[in-house]
Structure 1
């Protein structure tokens, strides 16, 4: 997450898709032709779908040193945001900075599949995609917008309507983005996981991710990773919950926290019956040919 400014910024557009102002069309264009290394890892997810959680797991699994020390490094430094411009001092597009980064390079992205680096889509490097049920996504995205000053925020009803409008949805229409990744779930360089499944079995997913990345971890090391990847641990860690970092004081609205609840089923506290039915109807229409389901609790 880049440092928020003091005023909302207009969204940016790339290839007809709307993104928040953290994104950079220059960086997105560079990302498509990005030179991928065999040991690159792309941590991808639709916004508010478990990106930071997956970043934490992957970065700790890949750490060869002391996990407790790695946990102190801000997540945005461990896994830079591919389609942005560096906000930590250089102002360079992140793909440019990554050219000189040592291997293995870990990076996060919210890009739709067809905007990923071409070489990654051709099988080079590894892609870990985390998906989350759409009802919790729309709620979490609304609350994120209530917090981060740089992203314009309407009422709950306005943000909901925008989310279900294909040309207005940030980062692409959920029902277009997730199916595209799902159709590549059996690619040799793709691991498709779900937020809800990680909530049910965090340790199992740490092992699954380690195996996918070709990492052999001892039981003790797996336990250490799991302990540092629980919601409560990450919420209290300024390296993962950036609103715990003193540098962000006064730069969020109403003292909201980046890591809010991390639950499955919070949508029941927000969606009206009509809104829930609207999401169900879109899901039935857009996902009818896919064997992809989500636990809604």
Structure 2
């Protein structure tokens, strides 16, 4: 069994042999490529433990457990990157089965082996699913998420694009067949269970400071390592920059005028003081009273 990136063999899973180091998932490149790191990386990609709709689809269609079988049958195709798995003698090409090129199974009618099921490979607690129009649909009260996206755009911060739909939000995919998302928890560049603001500044510089300050202003207390990361070139494996901000499900975790989230963000972002001031001044004019109040507190601290 081979791990592929598009049509390039990257890793022989059975023999634990690296076939293309540049295109290895970050976790495997940083921590050495073996069955342990491959399994950890696959676990981070697999979503049915968090995404409630993915869990439902998995249960009705594939049964409980049997993750190895599910990965084999679905080829572990995602709509966030260009990785997939196949047998060594399988002649199928990425273009024949990838959701970037082909319609995919959405949970209706019979599932056929080889179809893409990218909903099984997108995390987060809300019910969400990929649609054939290339958008991620999230269901529930997402009005605050739209406000967060609007604020980021007003501040000139790179962010996902989204719009309201009935019962939820539709989010434009930030990836393509040429550009992959690598979440921080898949990168091997930090401990997903033990990192702090300084880690983010060290990894992303000004982009990291923008994320920390905007999260502090919107009261987002859950910027875990699964909802920020890098964009990678799908042909070379090169890291081309920080990914657009995405996933604001926990905005307004805090509605206080000030708290540790806010004061720590200001402290660690002082090397980018002018940028912090610029963002806070814009956010202070927000229609959301909590955003406005917390932005004012940032300016008071400075």
TM-score (norm 2): 0.30
Greater relative contact order, per chain length (Cα 8 Å cut-off, separation 6+) = 1
State which structure, 1 or 2, has the greater radius of gyration over its C-alpha atoms.
2
Name the structure where helix makes up a greater proportion of residues: 1
TM-score (norm 1): 0.31
